[in-house]
Amino acid sequence: MNFEYGENQKMVADMCRDFAEREITPFRREWDETQEFPVPLFKKMGELGLMGVLVPQEYGGAGFTYFEYVAAIVEISKADGAIGLSMAAHNSLCTNHILTFGNEEQKKKWLPKLATAEWIGAWGLTEPNTGSDAGNMKTVAKEDGDHYVLNGAKNFITHGKSGNVAVVIARTGETGDSHGMTAFVIEKGTPGFKAGRKEDKLGMRASETTELIFEDCRVPKENILGKVGEGFIQAMKILDGGRISIAALSLGIAKGALEASIAYSKERQQFNKPISSFQGIAFKLADMATKIEAAELLTYQAAALKHAGKPMTKESAMAKYMASEVAVEVSTEAIQIFGGYGYTKDYPVEKHYRDSKLCTIGEGTSEIQKLVISRALLK
């Protein structure tokens, strides 16, 4: 396995790094404090191909692989985890669900708008009472002629308010039946479909998170992805790939915290020496870098399997679990290296610290990743 960045990866990483320095870093504190979801930024990202990284060029996307995708998310997330999260959710969940399971007509209808960020995408699986237990969802879709009528609510939905289109999983069969749920594409403005409360979050504050509410929402049958009853199975497959993107998001946050820590430790003087010269600090940096390296190798292993079309449920879970926990550990140590200044908003590590925690929760908690891994081991 070649761990060197390929030409495309390097090009994408360099482009994202330059873009982030110019368009994200100067504004991240303002977006964080106001909880603004900066839609114009994502339009610019769409122009660069970052909102359709995996979408083939025939549908308006960049046509890259998971290798370039991971590199892009890492660089964006080093600057701002919230922007990296929204980029990941748009690409891996909504857009990729349509790309993977949509028919040709559906792909031509929605992918060009999503890949260019003309439209922002959302994806709805989680409900107020069904997080990890998604199979017991209460949002119901009942057949009515050439439509299905949806009633219920989803929560913790990225881009639930600002999104132009959402892929929504609803129950069309019996509760708990893994073949009793169906995936629907629902456009903004559809009667009976609206956004609910926006969450006031600890971190990832520039990434919009809201409820989705369905009240007698009529969705035409041509908006069903795949077959009726396949929605939950589809969602689990989409989450396999999505976990690679959350691993990349975690890596970006951890790398951002490490880079800030190295720079600060060289500048900060105590006892007439830079604090990097003290073993207590130098060893922290060594531990942080080693953990990041291990998480990165796991992430690219999962990406390589995904690229080769091989099973990678266990490997993507391992990458997501390891990288997300490392992001929390590294950003915690970064605060410690910065000392009192790390606890202030004048330096970026407190934001890395707040943003990192979501990575151990979103797209399957660390505990769920352990469940996935252990089931694979014991199969």
List the alpha helices (DSSP H) in the chain.
7-23, 28-34, 39-47, 66-79, 81-88, 96-101, 104-115, 231-267, 279-307, 313-338, 349-359, 366-378
In which residue are the tokens 């399997």 written?
305
Q: Quick check: is 174 catalytic? A: no
The answer to whether the CB of 42 falls within 8 A of the CB of 120 is yes
Question: Minimal CA–CA distance to 229: which of 185, 186, 184, 178?
Answer: 178
Burial 101-110 (b: 16+ CB within 10 A, else e): bbeeebbebb
Q: Give the span between the Cα atoms of 34 and 38, in whole angstroms.
A: 11
Catalytic residue among 75, 127, 333, 363: 363
As a whole number of angstroms, the longest Cα–Cα distance in the chain is 79
The answer to whether the CB of 69 falls within 8 A of the CB of 53 is yes
Question: Minimal CA–CA distance to 212: which of 268, 176, 158, 259?
Answer: 158
For the chain, give the number of residues.
379
Residues whose CB is less than 8 angstroms from the CB of residue 299 and which lie 6 or more positions away in sequence, other chains included: 70, 244, 247, 248, 251, 319, 323
Question: Minimal CA–CA distance to 372: which of 327, 320, 324, 331?
Answer: 320
**Hey, which residues does 196 pair with through a beta bridge?**
none
The set of catalytic residues is 363
